[in-house]
Chains A and B, each alone.
Chain A
Amino acid sequence: GENVEQHPSTLSVQEGDSAVIKCTYSDSASNYFPWYKQELGKRPQLIIDIRSNVGEKKDQRIAVTLNKTAKHFSLHITETQPEDSAVYFCAASSGGFKTIFGAGTRLFVKA
């Protein structure tokens, strides 16, 4: 069946460095790719998303890139801060119920 692979499972960076999380999806019909941030003990919250007709989207320190040919998409966080520490989930959706989540990346930002 369809799946989304997310790497790495754990990422540790120094404050101020960049962090990159990568996802690969299998369903060619996927056309919407959201990213969620889940802080400890909290609910996942949408932080950025990208649609299949766009290759890159940026919002302040976070950006997402999409390569539909390779079925890859990535989250980039620049100038990381301790409050960026959280679990990040990627997802791929073709609309309807078919939103498949990656297993998550636990990001640690060391001060």
Chain B
Amino acid sequence: DADVTQTPRNRITKTGKRIMLECSQTKGHDRMYWYRQDPGLGLRLIYYSFDVKDINKGEISDGYSVSRQAQAKFSLSLESAIPNQTALYFCATSDSDSLYGYTFGSGTRLTVV
């Protein structure tokens, strides 16, 4: 089945370390997103990409960077992880007009100690 896959599923890392979260999709969607989920705060947009050459900041991009390696791959990096980046991270995809909803990946639970 066409899907959105995230790796790793869980990760514990130390403060100051660099970490990369990866997302790949077989949906054939052009648009990809990275969201962060914290309890009581819903889903907040970190970065989004409408195609391989298009990268845009979301509402909480500070401390994060992304790379769109191909239409199907979108990775999120924390250059120097800090404890308040402990959260559940979701990658999502949508079609070209984003009016048919998102398909979310299975999530990465990141803990920064």
Contact = CB atoms under 8 A, between A and B. Distances in A.
- Asked if A and B are interacting partners, one says yes
Interface residues of A, number: 23
A34 B101 CA distance: 6
Interface of A: 6, 9, 31-32, 34, 36, 42-46, 49, 51, 89, 93, 95-97, 99, 101-104
Nearest to A44: B104
Interface string B42-60: 1111001010000010100
Nearest to B94: A99
B53 to A, nearest CB: 16
A101 B43 contact: yes
Interface residues of B, number: 24
Contacts of B106: 42-43
B101 A89 contact: no
Contacts of A36: 101-102, 104
B10 to A, nearest CB: 11
Contacts of A97: 31, 33, 45, 48, 50, 56, 58, 98
Interface in B27-80: 31, 33, 40-45, 48, 50, 56, 58
A51 B98 CA distance: 12
B98 A93 contact: yes
A9 B41 CA distance: 11
Contact of A43 (B44, B100, B107): B107
